[in-house]
Amino acid sequence: MIRVNEHFLKLKAGYLFPEIGRRVSAFAQASPRADIIKLGIGDVTEPLPPAVVAAMHKAVDDMTTVAGFHGYGPEQGYGFLREAIVANDFKSRGADVAADEIFISDGAKCDTGNLQEIFGLDNVVAVTDPVYPVYVDTNVMAGRTGGNDGTGRYAKIVYMPCTADNEFVPELPEEPVDMIYLCYPNNPTGAVAAKEQLTKWVRYAIENKAVILYDAAYEAFIRDDSIPHSIYEIDGARKVAIEFRSFSKTAGFTGVRCAFTVVPKEVVAYTKSGGPQPLHPIWNRRHCTKFNGVSYITQRGAEAVYSPEGKRQNQAIIDLYMSNADVICQSLKRLGYQVYGGKHAPYVWLKTPEGIDSWSFFDVLLKRANVVCTPGAGFGAAGEGYVRLSAFNHPCRVQEAMERIAKL
Ligand code: PLP
């Protein structure tokens, strides 16, 4: 008799975005003339930078000639892209990363979800609350957790609350943990972690023989040079941290698909007998077994993100999103709302008015301002009492959304 992987049955239903979709379509059906502005899902709205498009066109032309044709490429990615990443993302910030420590992939969602496979099932997972749900759900699927307690939390996971009091960067856990997921700039709170805060976490990981899984998918939105873009800007991080990056939000690649993961050669996990085992060869083995590389055309497009024109064009797009974030923050502050994030991240974390929970405020914004946000409670218990507004939209739509909220 074929048996199902019962860990999947522990998963709570994909509640957040389907429920948002359900409420939005019910409202749209009831009010067909409503002009709904979506500041909910974090998908980019601006087209690809022209330098990226030109590089991809050229790569398509390469593929039409015998000399320029590319079939299967290296699973880890082409040298031209890995070298460009090292020079521009790491060396430029004094972070020590080598090209062969970079694994090009088709998304940080897949990477953050897949990487847990190389760790034993008896490790204790620590996540922030609120959290990007992929970290939790993939550990549930793997069997590293107990059941869902009905409030959305799973047994055996250590939840680290991120609140206004700790500036949305968690305290060190009181019980020992092994796999620590951190994401800065943060989705959904828009918070960033300062060098001292990350240093504390790297020290903890070294002392406790833990590994930090650091999601830096939004690093390009940081506007203060003193804030680390990479965990490898912190001394000792090469021993204990794996970093995830993505071209999705930083270069408009959500529909193109390209990302990368850094696994330093020094980072280890331990066998039952306590022997250190480098993770780089294990991830390399896993990656090559289950993945056949990102397309040549896509990688040429990603390489162009680092060309002088690509950088300039891309920065202009990031500036546009961040000026949307400024408009959201300033408008809401003027109206007396408490807002967080939005300075170094494309997300604004808005405290709902006293006595109104996340979903009720979602309904108020939808029905009375025709603006879609994301209820904070969908990201975890500590997200209750907040909603997330995304800066990914056209400036005129963001302005219009703020004018409508002002009239509430
Ligand atoms: N990590 C975080 C924190 C995200 O918010 C997202 C997308 O929303 C991703 C990863 C996924 O990135 P990708 O498009 O590269 O799969």
Interatomic CA distance for residues 232 and 98, integer angstroms: 12
Final residue in a domain of this structure, among 285, 306, 327: 306
The answer for residues whose C-beta is within 8 angstroms of residue 66's C-beta and 6 or more apart is: none
**Residue 346 is assigned to a structural domain of this protein:** yes
**302-328: average pLDDT:** 98
Cα 386 to Cα 86, 184, 186, 284, 350: the distances in Å are: 37, 19, 15, 40, 5
How large a percentage of the chain has pLDDT more than 70?
100
What confidence tens digit (pLDDT) does each residue in 137-159 have? Answer: 999 999 999 999 887 899 999 99
Domain count along the chain: 2
Same domain, 343 and 299: no
The answer for residues whose C-beta is within 8 angstroms of residue 344's C-beta and 6 or more apart is: 185, 190, 192, 221, 222, 223, 224, 227
**Residue 1 is assigned to a structural domain of this protein:** no
Q: If we measure between CA atoms, which residue out of 281, 347, 318, 310 comes closest to residue 41?
A: 347
Burial class of 349 by CB neighbour count within 10 A (0 to 12, 13 to 18, 19+): buried
**380-388: average pLDDT:** 96
Same domain, 118 and 258: yes
Q: In the structure, what pLDDT confidence band is assigned to residue 227 with cuts at 50, 70 and 90?
A: very high
Residue nearest to atom 5 of ligand 1 (CA): 187
**320-339: average pLDDT:** 98
Does 180 sit in the ligand 1 pocket, CB within 6 Å? no
Does 189 sit in the ligand 1 pocket, CB within 6 Å? no
Q: What's the pLDDT score for residue 18?
A: 87
Neighbours of 389 (CB within 10 A): 31
Final residue in a domain of this structure, among 258, 291, 306: 306
Q: Is the pLDDT of residue 285 over 80?
A: yes
Same domain, 42 and 67: no
Instruction: Give the CATH number for residue 314.
Output: 3.90.1150.10
Distance 217 CA to ligand 1 centre (A): 6
Q: Is the pLDDT of residue 75 over 90?
A: yes
Q: What's the pLDDT score for residue 375?
A: 96
Final residue in a domain of this structure, among 306, 325, 350: 306
Q: What's the pLDDT score for residue 149?
A: 87
**327-353: average pLDDT:** 98
Instruction: Show the domain range for 35.
Output: 6-47+309-406
Same domain, 292 and 345: no
Mean pLDDT across the chain = 97
Give the DSSP letter string of 310-360: HHHHHHHHHHHHHHHHHHHHHHHHHTT--EEE-SSSSEEEEEPPTT--HHH
Distance 108 CA to ligand 1 centre (A): 5
Q: What's the pLDDT score for residue 385?
A: 97
Does 250 sit in the ligand 1 pocket, CB within 6 Å? no
**Residue 210 is assigned to a structural domain of this protein:** yes
What confidence tens digit (pLDDT) does each residue in 12-64 have? Answer: 876 788 899 999 999 999 999 999 999 998 899 999 999 999 999 999 999 99
Q: What's the pLDDT score for residue 12?
A: 82
